[in-house]
Structure 1
Amino acid sequence: MSKTRPKSPLPKLPMEGVDESTWMDVIQKMDEVYTRLIDDEVALENKNTELQQSQQFIFSVLSSMSDVLVVCDANGVIEQANAALCELTGRTEEQLRGTPLYALLADEPSRALARAAMEKTDAPRAGEAIELNLLDHQGQAMSVDANCTPRIGDKGRRLGTVWVGRPTAELKRAYHEMRAAHEALKRTQQLLLHSEKMASLGLLVAGVAHELNNPISFVLGNVHALSKYSERLRTYLAAVHAHEPEPVLTEMRRKLRIEHLLADLPSLIEGTLEGAQRTADIVNGLKRFSAMDSEERKPVNLVEVIDRAIHWVQKGRSALVAVQWQAGEACTVMGSADQLQQVMMNLLQNGFDAVGRCQAPRIVVTLERAAGTVRVTLRDNGPGIPPEHLLRIFDPFFTTKPVGQGTGLGLSISYGIVEQHGGRLSARNAAEGGAEFVLELPQAQAVA
């Protein structure tokens, strides 16, 4: 901006006592003052432009905010509101100005919370979070996560309150949907885990049948013997009740071998009970393994878990595989015995499959304790893991077995179970050949 100063006309007649140079100084001073006024006017216009731009910026920010914003005076009367609140309540900013904030709240608990926040003398400068229910444009209550911040003046006096709120109805709905999806995912994972367990159980059917055959056959043999003994006793007791002469009874005792029968009864009964108990133990073990797993974590003797896993997997294999394993003393971890047994069975079955074509198949299982960690290592003397498969070996559905002989879920599920137990499962090729799986679990703290 430029302005032209009009030229001051020189007086035609000199003033008495004032020479021309003095008059020229006065004119120069007037010119300087006028120039300063012009500069001040330009600066003021620039400040006004900057102020308008700042106001426009603030207005655009308030208008684009998705969160609602309300500025109240010391009495809780609305002085300013942004476009989000206007859209939420269905009112214009002119209609909201001068309205008490309490009139926008849907219930008395929300009004009480807002009143307490605005009347608090020691309110934190960072504000405090309060959940309020606002009335929307349809008169329905809408949950809002609000932050109440005091508005302080130049002299440190509280002039009012600034409220910034975010409607949480959509967030809560999304949270509930996410939680439902998470629960569905957990149920699917449990079903997948159970399906893989059933697949493992199917591989053990032959071994289980053989395992059950011995005690059941023993029980059946004993029951047949007891049946014959009962017939002899019934015949002899009938003669006793008929008051047969003593010589007749003596001959019957000799012929029916009553003394031998009575001496043999305890061992027959004891053997029958032992066989029945063994059968019950096998069935209960299968029931525990096939049952849906509980998420409860209990102290588990890992040595017993490894013993059972080796026993069951060996029983389910037609070809003999030597397993080198020294049980040693008990080693306790926290977790699910059934899940850890499934991990061990999966690793053993994987090793047994790997050494299937070896001349002298062998699996070496070791257990070490170090710095609160239990490390179980399973090493086979098979061909090892191809380098291109090492990075994918724990991927779901990844398998190198022919179609119909593997689902590719065993190692993946085992990896997930170990992670849930706070441990780590890794695979590598051993220096002396063959594959090596390392299972690490935190050791349970000893109870005093």
Structure 2
Amino acid sequence: MGQSHTTSGGFTEDSWGDVLSAVDRTYAELVEYQERLERQNEALHEARRFIGSVLGSVSDIMAVVGRDGVIEEVSASLMRAAEAEPGALAGRRVAELFTAEGAARIEGALADLRLSRETASFEADLVSPSGAQPFDIALSARLSDRGRYVGAVLTGRPLGELRRAYAELERSHRQLKEAQGQLVRNEKLATLGRLLAGVAHELNNPISFVYASTHALQKYVTRFETYFERVQAGATREELVALREDLKLERDLRNLREAIHGAREGAERVRDIVADLRRLSADGSGERVRFDLVETAKVAARWVERGSKSGIAVRYEGPEHLEIWGAPGHVQQIVMNLVQNAMDALKGHAAPELVMRVATEGGRALLTLSDNGPGVPQEVRAAIFDPFFTTKPVGQGTGLGLAISAKIAQEHGGRLVLEDGPGSSFRLELPLDAPAEGPAERPADKREPPQ
């Protein structure tokens, strides 16, 4: 066995080796601990830099306060708003930065946060040398890892900016509604423009009857005036008999009734056309009333028939009357768009057929318009109600008719759908009654044109 040597201090060489090994280990642990502290310190500095950059870059004001409501950190935006020097706000109570009313709200919210932990929102005016500035304040709790209340975070957005944003949003919404209303009016004008030729033709025929009848009546009046002048002059019976034969008064008496009948018939047709025009343009403002869906739909279809000159008649199936709630002028526009589209699709068809049906189901009115045309191709059915989408040639359709019709139906609390089946079939669903929160109803104008 080897022997250990004893030093002058009484330690053996092995003892000194153990001491040196322990020193080396301790030194290595100290170095590792120092490196760990340096890493943690760097992470802490990085976190502080990150927090500083956040506090310096946020546009809303922000303050971090302790349990006692004293400011610990503030954002650069808060210092700018309060017109304070860097570091001047730290150590002050956050409530002191606001007017008396705002300070009371903040103190009350801070007291509530200790118990409820629920974020508080309110308005408060920040005090600055330039004057008080209104802010929308949010105050939320800061919690420790164990869930204990350690303070709060106050954030605020200038109300002037919010109010400007709300005003801009309101202005944009108003402009959107005006643009939508203009689109509806333009589409209705375009529809009426397509019917103008038919209206002129419809008015021209009865007016021609009236004109021809009045021309004949004028001729008959002249002949009877000539005869009665001879009667007043004391002509003999033989002279009067000869004059009656010469003027052909017997024939004129028979034709007189025909002329009166023709003039009356023409005037009645003009009256009916004017009555339809009045119904067509009535309630176009969009005011909600109770009205007869059947009459409204029939008038709309009749005008499209007149204007299209297609020779296609719309066959109606359903009740004679059905009262619903809505804007009759807008519903009429939907029917006119559907009938016009159907007649366009039936052009050139050997045996065109167009059927309009009205029924009720589950508190709703159902108006279905079906034709035996080529139908809507499967690949475009999904886009049929998209604005500006049209299958018609360029210049023959705006692509707004179905889109606006679907929008009108939606605004009425209903819907417009394309059904499956041969040909094209559109179903318009509308509520029978006004919604509970809707405007007060009033009866539709039932006045008839003068007889």
TM-score by length of 2: 0.68
| 1:217-236 correspondence runs (5 A) | none
Counterpart residue identity of residue 350, structure 2 = Q
Q: Closer, same or farther in 2 for the Cα pair 1:37/1:401, shift >3 Å?
A: closer
Contact 2:62–2:75 at 8 Å: present in 1 too? yes
1:318 to 283, 296, 309: 309
Q: CA deviation at 1:182?
A: 1.9
Counterpart for residue 350 of structure 2: 359
SS in 2 for 1:139: coil
| 1:270-309 correspondence runs (5 A) | 281-288=275-282, 291=284, 293-294=285-286, 296-309=287-300
Counterpart residue identity of residue 53, structure 1 = A
Give me the whole-angstrom Cα distance separating, in 1, the residues matched to 2:124 and 2:149.
22
Q: CA deviation at 1:36?
A: 4.2
Counterpart for residue 78 of structure 1: 71
1:98 to 91, 98, 107: 91
2:152 to 161, 165, 173: 161
Q: CA deviation at 1:332?
A: 5.2
Alignment pair present for 1:60 and 2:45: no
Q: CA deviation at 1:128?
A: 1.3
Counterpart for residue 112 of structure 1: 104
Q: CA deviation at 1:352?
A: 1.5
1:182 to 159, 166, 173: 173
Q: Closer, same or farther in 2 for the Cα pair 1:30/1:146, shift >3 Å?
A: farther
**Higher alpha-carbon deviation: 151-160 or 324-333:** 151-160
Q: Closer, same or farther in 2 for the Cα pair 1:84/1:416, shift >3 Å?
A: same
1:146 to 137, 146, 150: 137
Counterpart residue identity of residue 169, structure 2 = M
Contact 1:215–1:278 at 8 Å: present in 2 too? no
Counterpart for residue 29 of structure 2: 39
2:403 to 390, 398, 412: 412
Counterpart residue identity of residue 47, structure 2 = F
Q: CA deviation at 1:87?
A: 4.2
Contact 2:280–2:299 at 8 Å: present in 1 too? no
Which runs of 5 or more structure 1 residues have no equivalent in the other structure? 1-8, 15-19, 229-270
Counterpart for residue 250 of structure 2: none
Give me the whole-angstrom Cα distance separating, in 1, the residues matched to 2:305 and 2:77.
70
Counterpart residue identity of residue 398, structure 2 = T
Q: For this pair of structures, how many residues does the alignment match? A: 382
Give me the whole-angstrom Cα distance separating, in 2, the residues matched to 1:116 and 1:101.
12
Q: CA deviation at 1:278?
A: 5.6
Give me the whole-angstrom Cα distance separating, in 2, the residues matched to 1:151 and 1:401.
64
Give me the whole-angstrom Cα distance separating, in 2, the residues matched to 1:367 and 1:85.
66
Q: Closer, same or farther in 2 for the Cα pair 1:100/1:167, shift >3 Å?
A: same
SS in 1 for 2:282: helix
Counterpart for residue 435 of structure 1: 424
Q: CA deviation at 1:342?
A: 0.5
Contact 1:63–1:84 at 8 Å: present in 2 too? no
Counterpart for residue 40 of structure 2: 50
- The Cα offsets for residues 131-172 of structure 1, whole Å up to 9 and x where unpaired, read as 333356x73544433221345679998654331334454344
Give me the whole-angstrom Cα distance separating, in 1, the residues matched to 2:365 and 2:293.
9
Contact 2:207–2:270 at 8 Å: present in 1 too? yes
TM-score by length of 1: 0.69
Give me the whole-angstrom Cα distance separating, in 2, the residues matched to 1:276 and 1:374.
32
Counterpart residue identity of residue 12, structure 1 = S
Q: CA deviation at 1:125?
A: 1.3
Q: Closer, same or farther in 2 for the Cα pair 1:91/1:216, shift >3 Å?
A: farther
Q: CA deviation at 1:191?
A: 1.2
- The Cα offsets for residues 390-438 of structure 1, whole Å up to 9 and x where unpaired, read as 444334334454555433322222122223234333336733xx32223
Q: CA deviation at 1:348?
A: 0.4
Counterpart residue identity of residue 353, structure 1 = D
SS in 2 for 1:204: helix
Contact 2:288–2:326 at 8 Å: present in 1 too? yes
Q: CA deviation at 1:215?
A: 10
Counterpart for residue 233 of structure 1: none
- The Cα offsets for residues 83-118 of structure 1, whole Å up to 9 and x where unpaired, read as 34334444344111123324432x443233223222
Q: CA deviation at 1:60?
A: 1.0
Q: CA deviation at 1:351?
A: 0.9
Q: Closer, same or farther in 2 for the Cα pair 1:157/1:427, shift >3 Å?
A: closer
SS in 1 for 2:355: strand
- The Cα offsets for residues 226-254 of structure 1, whole Å up to 9 and x where unpaired, read as xx9xxxxxxxxxxxxxxxxxxxxxxxxxx
Counterpart residue identity of residue 320, structure 1 = G
Counterpart for residue 247 of structure 1: none
Q: CA deviation at 1:178?
A: 2.6
Contact 2:206–2:270 at 8 Å: present in 1 too? no
Give me the whole-angstrom Cα distance separating, in 2, the residues matched to 1:385 and 1:152.
63
Give me the whole-angstrom Cα distance separating, in 2, the residues matched to 1:341 and 1:59.
67
Counterpart for residue 262 of structure 1: none
Counterpart residue identity of residue 278, structure 2 = N
Which runs of 5 or more structure 2 residues have no equivalent in the other structure? 222-264, 437-451
Q: Closer, same or farther in 2 for the Cα pair 1:190/1:395, shift >3 Å?
A: same
Give me the whole-angstrom Cα distance separating, in 2, the residues matched to 1:121 and 1:196.
58
Identity %: 32
Give me the whole-angstrom Cα distance separating, in 1, the residues matched to 2:124 and 2:204.
67
2:8 to 12, 16, 23: 12
Contact 2:113–2:141 at 8 Å: present in 1 too? no
Give me the whole-angstrom Cα distance separating, in 1, the residues matched to 2:173 and 2:393.
34
Counterpart residue identity of residue 184, structure 1 = Q
Q: CA deviation at 1:387?
A: 4.8
Q: Closer, same or farther in 2 for the Cα pair 1:113/1:381, shift >3 Å?
A: same
SS in 2 for 1:146: strand
Q: Closer, same or farther in 2 for the Cα pair 1:403/1:158, shift >3 Å?
A: closer
Contact 2:288–2:327 at 8 Å: present in 1 too? yes
